Amino acid sequence: MIRLNTLRTWALLTLGLLAALTSAWTSAQALSIAAPTPTPVPPTTTPAPPTATPVPPTVTPAPPTATPAPEFPSSVGSIAGIEWQWERFVSGDGSAIEVDDPARYTLVLGADGTYQMRVDCNRGSGGYTLKGGSLSLEHGALTRAMCAPESLHDTFLRQLGDVCTWTMTADGKLVLDLWADAGQMILRRG
């Protein structure tokens, strides 16, 4: 009996709501039909201000930068065969992750288009593509040991997968830039 009364109440409420919506819609249509159309107002003309003789812009040369621009190596030979140790990550927003033990996170690019890596307690390899300043690393085989909770294992792997360009600094560090200005991985020679 309670269920039947609840169902009847629901049906009556639904019908009442539909009737109210229909009435509101009909009223809105009547208002829009009866609304007067505005009379266009002619635009007023304002005299144009007197024109001035254009002044050429003054060009001021930029001051020289204190830090030299990073070198752009021309071939993989300048970075291949070297063990690169992950030193830190600088995010696009300026925050940084300092790696406590860079020797636990390494990358070695081979001249044959493959790479080897150490990812904390795991080891892995894969392939890479290098074209000028563009670099992409494709993940391949990876051991799956359980590293310590404070490990940067997942961060290192995710960032390597997001690498898009590379440069060398004047002091010989490898800088791997991530997509969408997400940050830079800084690696030193091992």
Structural tokens at position 84 = 């690169």
Quote the pLDDT of residue 75: 55
Residue 73's SS3 state is: coil
What are the structural domains of the chain? 76-189 (2.40.128.270)
Mean of per-residue pLDDT scores for the chain:
78
Quote the pLDDT of residue 37: 53
Structural tokens at position 24 = 């509101």
The 10s digit of each residue's pLDDT in 110-131 is: 999 999 999 999 999 999 999 9
Task: Extract the runs of DSSP E, i.e. beta strands, from 21-121.
Answer: 83-91, 96-98, 105-109, 114-119
Which residue is it, tokens 């830190």? 88
Please report which helix (H) or strand (E) contains residue 12, including its range: helix 2-34
Residue 139's SS3 state is: strand
Evaluate if residue 108 carries a pLDDT over 50: yes
Quote the pLDDT of residue 9: 53
| HSE of 69, CA atoms in CB hemisphere, 13 A | 4
Evaluate if residue 19 carries a pLDDT over 80: no
Mean pLDDT of 68-77: 49
Quote the pLDDT of residue 78: 86
